[in-house]
Structure 1
Amino acid sequence: MRTAVGTAGTAGTAGTETPAGDTPGDTEGAVDAARSRSITDWRPEDEVFWAETGAGVARRNLVFSVLSEHIGFSVWSLWSVLVLFLGPEYHVDAAGKFTLTALPTALGAVLRLPYTFAVARFGGRNWTMVSALLLLVPTVLAGLVLRPGVSYGTLLAVACAAGVGGGNFASSMANINAFYPQRLKGWALGVNAGGGNLGVPVVQLVGLLVLATAGAAHPRLVPLVYLPLIVLAALGAALRMDNLTSLRSDRRALREVAGEPHSWVMSLLYIGTFGSFIGFGFAFGQVLQVQFHQQFDTPVKAAYLTFLGPLLGSLVRPLGGRMADRWGGARVTLWTFAAMAAGTGVVLVASQQKSLPMFLTGFVALFVLSGIGNGSTYKMIPAIFQAGARIAVAAGADKETAERDSRRRASALIGLAGALGAFGGVLVNIAFRQSFLGVGDGDAAYWAFLATYAVCCAVTWVVYLRPRVGPMPGV
């Protein structure tokens, strides 16, 4: 049997090659491939293959990957909204609310590694279906328990369960990374991640709608909105996505990238970008209510503003990937961290002067810059391994094998960096919690963020941009 892309499910659609010959074996093989929706031959770097078949198949998988990841992000960040509903009758103070937003961030970070390799074990389509259906657990639980009188321990357990939504990002990115050629990875990963990141502001807008219409007494309406959408995402994956058999054959990639120094450098940089984005997204509403409590004395007032930063940061993530495609991921990342340090300085001054307009301006800038940095750092990951593949080919290695190894290692590092980057969101919430507990404002946390961005800026320069004997081109 010769099957270039055994996926389409219906005869004549893009992605299914007509079997060569009319033998029963050929026909049966084509039917089996269609039923399993498995792609046995995928060559995105082959321009003819890409133009005739690859682009359409990759685009279809990208669309349904974005849908599933978007809903996953909404569920993951659900408690950034629900804490705004927890009035005095729930007996949860500000520190307790920061803990409620930190727990799903932490579980989501932990789950990103197994979710990445679930794609290799079960296939991208298959795991997208399963991971989407798992989102029913935290949404149903939140809809059941959210009422005055519920114990704080129960709230902690249910909030933690929302972390399953954070794992979706890693599996989705590892899957889409394998579908696209190197020249389009920055854009494709940016679109995939940006569409997912939009789940943060969207769930906050849903929360605002519920607060403005039903009122703060009905928090259970927010998770219940997502139940039919979760089912829709699972059905879309089942009917329209595909598995790449080349990914399913990978078992050693994590061990290989764990021994690569660049893996830990990129994980640090992603802590600085994505950790900031998700940490700020979870904490921003609480920060406004605690630090500017006179202006935001009701949850609905804070909800009017909390979605703005995550919305803009999500929308510019594809732009960050596109900029990295054009100017290089390392260069864009360097300037992004420099600008984030400057933005943090603005937030720090605004906090000390109690200037709400300056504070909002600085924080929104941080969201936008972290979104750009998310796109540029993820572009760097496949570029690093592609550069290694070019070196291997120049030394006599087989080109096809080197490129395949490059793709699977990049997918593995996307999972590792994604996990550690998400853990950065936990650190952001812990920093805010301790700062407000210790000194009554967020200034200590802002100093910590400023120092982190300065370190990331220096590391980017030293490792990827400093003139050297053997530069790494294209990163």
Structure 2
Amino acid sequence: MTATAPEDVTVSAPADRTLLNTWNPEDEELWAAGGRRIARRNLAFSILSEHIGFSVWSLWSVLVLFLGPGYHVDAAGKFVLTSVPTLVGSVLRLPYSFAVTRFGGRNWTVFSALILLVPCGLAAFLVKPGVSYPTLLVLAAITGVGGGNFASSMTNINAFYPDRLKGWALGLNAGGGNVGVAAVQLVGLAVLAWSGKGHPGLVAGIYLPLIVVAAAGSAVYMDNLPNRTPEHGAIREVAKLGHTWIISTLYIGTFGSFIGFGFAFGQVLQVQFKHDFATPIDAAYLTFLGPLLGSVSRPVGGRLADRFGGARVSLLTFAAMAVGAATVLAASRAASLPVFVTGFVLLFVFSGVGNGSVYKMIPVLFAGEPEPKARRLSGALIGLAGAVGAFGGVLVNMAFRQSFLSTKSGDAAYLGFLVFYALCAAITWLVYSRSTSTTTSGSPGSAGK
């Protein structure tokens, strides 16, 4: 597979190809002359493909609800099944972020969409009573390819938008993708309600034609930006920056929480409040709500960060998430399902807001650099932070598994989340919000502005 030259962008009008050849979203004349239209078109189909990628990545958060006695998988085993895709997806995010500059944004979006046919096709035919647990683990791991789509999509869209609009654009791109977590749970709910627990393969099968549609749309309407040579040294360069690991830690708290809770919430409800749910369908009615609201709130976080600064919004977000974790802990100890769900919804909503605000902090770190270098380093940091943040989803599921194994409740996990969010708030305030310095690129003060 080779990088595509500008003249190979066949879907663009001649005027569009001229703009793409000299692409610089910070050039206001170029932006007004058609750059905005090009960026929006690519954003729209990026969102569609990423949305389906998230749905496939989250597939096992739904399929575990179908695994009754005939599958011989206990609660701890189910938490492992939801952890494996998260782990694989987090690892794939680094090579996926490089792939955009190597092969072109359009080319890679088409490929990364089509490859989703593999996990969906296998799950559609192989998940049935009597299948071995190792086979289930392999099937779950393969769905991790859907997690890589996020990094390539965000890196690609980052290059299409000027700094003043990146909070909104990246938030909208990520939020539209994140809705896939809720969407697959609604698909699972519909299958459960229509055919019961006996046909889990239908959940995966429904996505097969949708994947083809997304790949075809991306092939026709997206563009490859020219003059984007692979910068394998960029990841090494940003890895040497202290801010890279601080941002990555904060992203564990936001996106790691979102994806981890998205995978685990249905199981947690069934295990902790099993007497409140007669069937998996009853629990499924609640599981989609949090991921949906968390996805919708993500572009809101980006917009707020554009206006008030990423650090300020992130600080308030982590404080709110600590309150949400405290609410969940109190509700768990009081065995109050309504308060428990309310606390989790708060966690989802503010993790979405924080996803947008933390990513807004990334481009601003390099605001003092020349535009090509700033775009290159921002893309590398987005890929690295996305990979580390996604790994947070693994930690969330493992925390739940260990907590339920050791104490028969999730209280230890909820307490751990509360402490971590308080720590993230303290880091945000100490490193970014407290400083007012804007004298150097990547300084603590510049990240908050």
- Gaps spanning 5+ residues in structure 2: where? 1-5
Q: Is the 8 A contact 2:175 2:295 kept in 1?
A: yes
Q: Is the 8 A contact 2:435 2:445 kept in 1?
A: no
Which residue matches 2:339? 358
Identical amino acids, percent of aligned pairs: 66
Q: Is the 8 A contact 2:11 2:220 kept in 1?
A: no
- Measure, in 2, the Cα distance between the counterparts of 1:249 and 1:108: 22
Q: Equivalences for 1:106-121 in 2 at 5 Å?
A: 106-121=87-102
Residue identity matched to 1:454: A
Q: Equivalences for 1:132-211 in 2 at 5 Å?
A: 132-211=113-192
Which residue matches 1:432? 400
Pairing 1:88–2:69 present: yes
Secondary structure in 2 aligned to 1:246? coil
Residue identity matched to 1:271: I
User: Which one has the largest radius of gyration?
Assistant: 1
1:446: how far off? 0.5
In structure 2, which of residues 68, 80, 104 is the aligned counterpart of residue 123 of structure 1?
A: 104
- Measure, in 2, the Cα distance between the counterparts of 1:12 and 1:247: 20
Residue identity matched to 2:253: G
Residue identity matched to 1:435: S
Secondary structure in 1 aligned to 2:196? coil
Q: Is the 8 A contact 1:81 1:203 kept in 2?
A: yes
Pairing 1:459–2:427 present: yes
1:16: how far off? 3.1
Q: Is the 8 A contact 1:14 1:57 kept in 2?
A: no
In structure 2, which of residues 438, 445, 449 is the aligned counterpart of residue 472 of structure 1?
A: 445
Name the CA shift for 1:468/1:240 in 2 (closer, same or farther; >3 Å): closer
Which residue matches 2:311? 330
- Measure, in 1, the Cα distance between the counterparts of 2:57 and 2:244: 25
1:152: how far off? 0.5
- Measure, in 1, the Cα distance between the counterparts of 2:410 and 2:352: 22
1:8: how far off? 6.3
TM-score w.r.t. structure 2 length? 0.95
- Gaps spanning 5+ residues in structure 1: where? 19-38, 390-401
Which residue matches 1:217? 198
1:251: how far off? 3.1
- Measure, in 1, the Cα distance between the counterparts of 2:254 and 2:170: 15
Pairing 1:56–2:37 present: yes
Residue identity matched to 1:59: R
- Measure, in 2, the Cα distance between the counterparts of 1:11 and 1:84: 45
1:41: how far off? 1.8
Q: Is the 8 A contact 2:311 2:358 kept in 1?
A: yes
Residue identity matched to 1:429: N
Cα deviation 1:53-112 (Å, max 9, x = unaligned): 210101110001000000000000000000000011111000000000000000000000
Residue identity matched to 1:15: D
- Measure, in 1, the Cα distance between the counterparts of 2:435 and 2:297: 30
Pairing 1:306–2:287 present: yes
Cα deviation 1:297-336 (Å, max 9, x = unaligned): 3110111000000000001100000000000000000000
Cα deviation 1:182-220 (Å, max 9, x = unaligned): 000000000100000000000000000000011110111
Q: Is the 8 A contact 1:122 1:248 kept in 2?
A: no
- Measure, in 2, the Cα distance between the counterparts of 1:12 and 1:90: 54
Q: Equivalences for 1:262-281 in 2 at 5 Å?
A: 262-281=243-262
Residue identity matched to 1:472: G
Q: Is the 8 A contact 2:331 2:339 kept in 1?
A: yes
- Measure, in 2, the Cα distance between the counterparts of 1:200 and 1:14: 38
What stretches of structure 1 move > 6 A for 4+ residues in a row? none
In structure 2, which of residues 363, 369, 373 is the aligned counterpart of residue 405 of structure 1?
A: 373
1:40: how far off? 2.8
1:250: how far off? 2.8
Q: Is the 8 A contact 1:271 1:420 kept in 2?
A: yes
1:252: how far off? 1.9
1:6: how far off? 5.4
Secondary structure in 2 aligned to 1:137? helix
Pairing 1:343–2:334 present: no
Q: Is the 8 A contact 1:320 1:376 kept in 2?
A: yes
- Measure, in 2, the Cα distance between the counterparts of 1:244 and 1:98: 41
Secondary structure in 2 aligned to 1:245? coil
Residue identity matched to 2:446: P
- Measure, in 2, the Cα distance between the counterparts of 1:12 and 1:254: 34
TM-score w.r.t. structure 1 length? 0.90
Which residue matches 2:3? none
1:247: how far off? 2.8
1:48: how far off? 0.8
Q: Equivalences for 1:34-53 in 2 at 5 Å?
A: 39-53=20-34
Aligned residues: CA RMSD = 1.6
- Measure, in 2, the Cα distance between the counterparts of 1:332 and 1:272: 14
- Measure, in 1, the Cα distance between the counterparts of 2:319 and 2:133: 40
Which residue matches 1:251? 232
